[in-house]
Chains A and B, each alone.
Chain A
Amino acid sequence: MEWYLPVIWAGLIGTAVAMYVILDGFDLGVGILFPFAANERQRDQMMASVAPFWDGNETWLILGGGGLFVAFPRAYAVIMPALYLPVIVMLLALVFRGVAFEFRTVSRSKGWLNFAFSAGSALAAFAQGVILGGLIQGVKVTNGAYAGGALDWATPFALLAGFAMIAGYGLLGATWLTLKTEGAVAERARDQARVLLISVLVFMAAVSLWTPFAEPRIAARWFSVPNIYFLWPVPVVTALTALALWNWIGQRREALPFLAAIALFLLGYLGLVISNFPYLVPPSLTVWDTAAAPASQIFMLLGTLVLLPLILGYVAFVYWLFRGKVREGESYH
């Protein structure tokens, strides 16, 4: 059995999920910050800053879910039933905020669509946090199938993770707005970014304390010798990144806060990977337990190696094409 194929696939799906979290994260974040805009012109401006990108961003979620189905069908077949309700709620929330983009350009009365966009964004973020939390806290598996109840995921930890995700996406959205907009929207986003940064750090600290206490395997992963000698830089770099982000916001830098927010997200993500690898469905199923047949993984890998660089190329092209800032009043119609 090729032991490395599942590892490669775990890396690829991990990358797709990271791409999703960062890219859809900032446009969901813009939705989360939507209610704080002062007027319709500012809301138009906020939406215009993400409108050309949101659809492509959301495609990474299909790649993440689809990739799990392709490469780890046994994990997919456990995770989806286990997290049935939060997954469906996330999908419905994404339906509303997705159509709001297009409907809003046609509609004359925008109130309900503004609500659909912001509530849908916040609810999708919350549900994604619950899904992540529900997965980390462990899923009950018997004979390779989900063996728990409909509401096993509903724990204080999962709800905490849900709120953490709202704060995190909000931070990405706020720093995106400081990069891509001008005027009052950018000013407010700078203030919001600092508040959100503090809440994100509180949530990160809470998760970092909670998980080792709740899960001995996570405590062992981080604090055993020699692991701790290699892993101590992770929290230190995270703290330095947060400090830099705080200062860059204060210095009114444009691109750096967004990049630092991304780095912060990736560090948090790295922390979760360190805590849980090689489990795909903690605490029982690893990447090797759940892998698809090697023939399937290889067939898909060949295509991915050709197509993924191509995709990254044209995605980068579109971000380059729509570079520059969006001013207030530069809006739909």
Chain B
Amino acid sequence: MDFDPILLARLQFAFTVTFHIIFPSFTIGLSAYIATLGALWVRTGKDHYHQLMRFWTRIFAVSFAMGVVSGLVLSYQFGTNWSRFSLTVGNVVGPLIGYEVLTAFFLEATFLGVLLFGFNRVPPWLYVLSGAIVALGTAMSAFWILSANSWMQTPAGYTMKDGIAYPTDWIAVIFNPSFPYRFTHMLNAAYLTTGFVVLAVGARFLLAGRHIEEGRTMLRMAIGLTAVLAPLQLILGDMHGLNTLKYQPIKVAAMEAHWDGSQPGDFEIFAWPDEKTETNRYALSIPNASSLILTHKLHGLFPGLKSVPPSERPPVPLVFFAFRVMVGLGLFMIASALFGAFLWWRGTLFETRWYLAAMSQCWWVGFIAVMAGWVTTESGRQPWIVEHVLRTADANSPVIGESILVTLVLFVLAYGVVFSFGIYYINRLINGGPESPAEIRGPLVGSPIAAARGGGGPIH
């Protein structure tokens, strides 16, 4: 039997990177939320902020651990699965990853230790500051990795010599054309994702009639945040789309399933893009809406898929449907956040049980939207791994298909087990709820080492 090493390498990487992105999408936002709660606690002295901070920090610790170990895997897969990619663009992409390690990973890992175990060993301001440093670290990490990814989409500031990319202008490399849009879009997505998780947990507590005070605080904070960020995401997404149209028009054509560039584009609410006949079947569309969105003119033209040969096109149905999932969930988030804000304004937010019941089930919307967005942009770049620089088919490692298949199976099994347990434990932590003020004595998940011996000297 013959195994296609490229397909297997792609499947394996798609699996590990999709699994990984779940955790940053959550921890980037959650760390910022924890830091905010800490700041509110220090400023107001109100205990329930501190209780919430500790409650979410424990959930953060479990999620962050899964993010760290699955991210470690990726940093090695650039070599194990994509050695020719590393060879060709390592001069340019390598330092971006290097800076991520130096500016973000050490910061997060080290100060998470202080946040988790240091409650009795450091003064409150340093304890809260550690939370803020962890949040800063996660955002810095996003900065560098999105810079690297954006460079693969819209490479700039380099020159090719003997088939190898050499940097010529680091500012142009880091701030490549799609980076500002992708970075803000993803960062906002991470905050939104967390907002909907917090919303769901707050709603769950209110419905169950326990931890009322904390539940209300969570609900207010989550709705206040998402009512601003969800509409903002639409604007950021639109700007990102226009940037993609400028630099990667074929990706946009696939997102819209727009075949013929000589005609204005309709917006397909639903369709089955048929790659063989180069048409859309079963299409339900809004005439000229795509042209209006992308060119801001009713009869504006933008390139169609037929402008390049089929070998140069991404897998159209995948990009098309992933984009629709993302946009659909985005619109749902806007509607539910704004409706929640409306209820809050009416003063009936905490009593509208059907709304709370619906929101308590919607913790997952952000995660799926983020994944769908990444599938759109990564599949939409195909057949290139680095747009117009290196093809995916030329980027893999000299490793036989059997090795990749065996490890792919191992990854699926291992991540399946780890993820199931992770979700189970996070769910248990949520059900446990915040501790009562009387329970808050020792460090968070740690030993009462300092409390018992005063070794580090509690200073507060």
Give residues in A with beta carbon < 8 Å to B.
44, 48, 51-53, 55-56, 58-59, 61-63, 65-71, 73-74, 76-81, 84-85, 87-88, 91-92, 94-96, 98-99, 101-103, 105-107, 144-147, 149-150, 292-293, 295-296, 299-300, 303-304, 307-308, 311, 314-315, 318, 321-324, 326-327, 330-333
- Contact sample, A vs B, 23 pairs, CB 8 Å cutoff: A51-B113, A52-B118, A66-B98, A69-B79, A78-B83, A85-B406, A88-B407, A98-B65, A99-B69, A150-B399, A296-B92, A300-B94, A300-B95, A303-B103, A307-B103, A314-B106, A315-B110, A318-B111, A318-B113, A318-B114, A321-B122, A322-B118, A322-B121
B456 in contact with A67 (CB, 8 Å): no
Q: Which residues of B contact A62 (CB under 8 A)?
A: 71-72, 75, 101, 105
Determine whether B84 belongs to the interface, using a CB cutoff of 8 Å to chain A: yes
Select from chain A the residue with minimum beta-carbon distance to B455.
A324
Q: Which residues of A contact B452 (CB under 8 A)?
A: 327, 330
Q: Which of B98-116 contact A (CB under 8 A)?
A: 98-103, 105-107, 109-114, 116
Minimum distance in angstroms from A156 CB to a CB of chain B? 21
State the CA gap A235–B428 with chains docked (Å). Answer: 54
State the CA gap A56–B111 with chains docked (Å). Answer: 9
A295 in contact with B167 (CB, 8 Å): yes
Q: Which residues of B contact A324 (CB under 8 A)?
A: 449, 453, 455-456
Determine whether B68 belongs to the interface, using a CB cutoff of 8 Å to chain A: yes
B65 in contact with A99 (CB, 8 Å): yes
Partner of A330, one of B61, B106, B410, B448: B448
Minimum distance in angstroms from A141 CB to a CB of chain B? 10
Partner of A308, one of B68, B102, B117, B407: B102
User: Given known contacts A65-B75, A81-B79, is B66 in contact with A296 (CB within 8 Å)?
Assistant: no
State the CA gap A96–B76 with chains docked (Å). Answer: 17
B86 in contact with A69 (CB, 8 Å): yes
State the CA gap A265–B58 with chains docked (Å). Answer: 36
Select from chain B the residue with minimum beta-carbon distance to A52.
B113
B90 in contact with A80 (CB, 8 Å): no
Minimum distance in angstroms from B105 CB to a CB of chain A? 5
Q: Which of B33-41, B185-193, B414-422 contacts A (4 or more CB under 8 A)?
A: B414-422
Partner of B456, one of A66, A321, A326: A321
Select from chain B the residue with minimum beta-carbon distance to A151.
B403
Give residues in B with beta carbon < 8 Å to A.
58, 61-62, 64-66, 68-73, 75-76, 78-80, 83-84, 86-87, 90-92, 94-95, 97-103, 105-107, 109-114, 116-118, 121-122, 166-168, 170, 397-400, 402-403, 406-407, 410-411, 414-415, 418, 421-422, 425, 428-429, 445-449, 452-453, 455-456
Minimum distance in angstroms from B398 CB to a CB of chain A? 5
Q: Which 6 A-B pairs have the closest CB atoms?
A: A80-B79, A73-B90, A324-B455, A77-B83, A70-B94, A52-B113
Partner of A73, one of B75, B86, B118: B86
Partner of B102, one of A79, A146, A303, A323: A303
Q: Which residues of B contact A331 (CB under 8 A)?
A: 447
B79 in contact with A146 (CB, 8 Å): no
State the CA gap A48–B83 with chains docked (Å). Answer: 39
Q: Count CB-based A-B contacts (< 8 Å).
A: 257
User: Given known contacts A56-B109, A70-B95, A308-B102, is B65 in contact with A332 (CB within 8 Å)?
Assistant: no
Q: Which residues of A contact B112 (CB under 8 A)?
A: 55
Q: Which of A55, A304, A314, A323 is the most central at the interface, judged by chain B CB atoms within 10 Å of its CB?
A: A55
User: Given known contacts A61-B72, A69-B94, A300-B99, is B403 in contact with A103 (CB within 8 Å)?
Assistant: no
Prevailing SS type, chain B contact patch: helix
Q: Which residues of A contact B109 (CB under 8 A)?
A: 55-56, 58-59
Q: Which residues of B contact A74 (CB under 8 A)?
A: 87, 90
State the CA gap A318–B103 with chains docked (Å). Answer: 17
Select from chain B the residue with minimum beta-carbon distance to A293.
B91
State the CA gap A304–B112 with chains docked (Å). Answer: 22
Minimum distance in angstroms from A288 CB to a CB of chain B? 15
Minimum distance in angstroms from A267 CB to a CB of chain B? 27
Q: Which residues of B contact A92 (CB under 8 A)?
A: 73, 410-411, 414
User: Given known contacts A150-B402, A293-B166, is B105 in contact with A77 (CB within 8 Å)?
Assistant: no
A99 in contact with B66 (CB, 8 Å): yes
Q: Which of A61, A62, A68 is the most central at the interface, judged by chain B CB atoms within 10 Å of its CB?
A: A62
Q: Which residues of A contact B428 (CB under 8 A)?
A: 106
A52 in contact with B116 (CB, 8 Å): yes
A63 in contact with B445 (CB, 8 Å): no
B113 in contact with A81 (CB, 8 Å): no
B455 in contact with A323 (CB, 8 Å): yes
B170 in contact with A59 (CB, 8 Å): no
Select from chain A the residue with minimum beta-carbon distance to B449.
A330
A299 in contact with B399 (CB, 8 Å): no
State the CA gap A281–B215 with chains docked (Å). Answer: 57
Minimum distance in angstroms from A176 CB to a CB of chain B? 16
Q: Which residues of A contact B421 (CB under 8 A)?
A: 99, 103
State the CA gap A295–B91 with chains docked (Å). Answer: 8
Minimum distance in angstroms from B119 CB to a CB of chain A? 12
State the CA gap A192–B384 with chains docked (Å). Answer: 54
Minimum distance in angstroms from B174 CB to a CB of chain A? 10
B102 in contact with A307 (CB, 8 Å): yes
Partner of A53, one of B111, B113, B407, B425: B113
Minimum distance in angstroms from B113 CB to a CB of chain A? 4
A303 in contact with B121 (CB, 8 Å): no
A95 in contact with B456 (CB, 8 Å): no
B98 in contact with A94 (CB, 8 Å): no
Minimum distance in angstroms from B309 CB to a CB of chain A? 30
State the CA gap A61–B69 with chains docked (Å). Answer: 11
A91 in contact with B76 (CB, 8 Å): yes
User: Given known contacts A73-B87, A77-B86, A98-B68, is B414 in contact with A326 (CB within 8 Å)?
Assistant: no
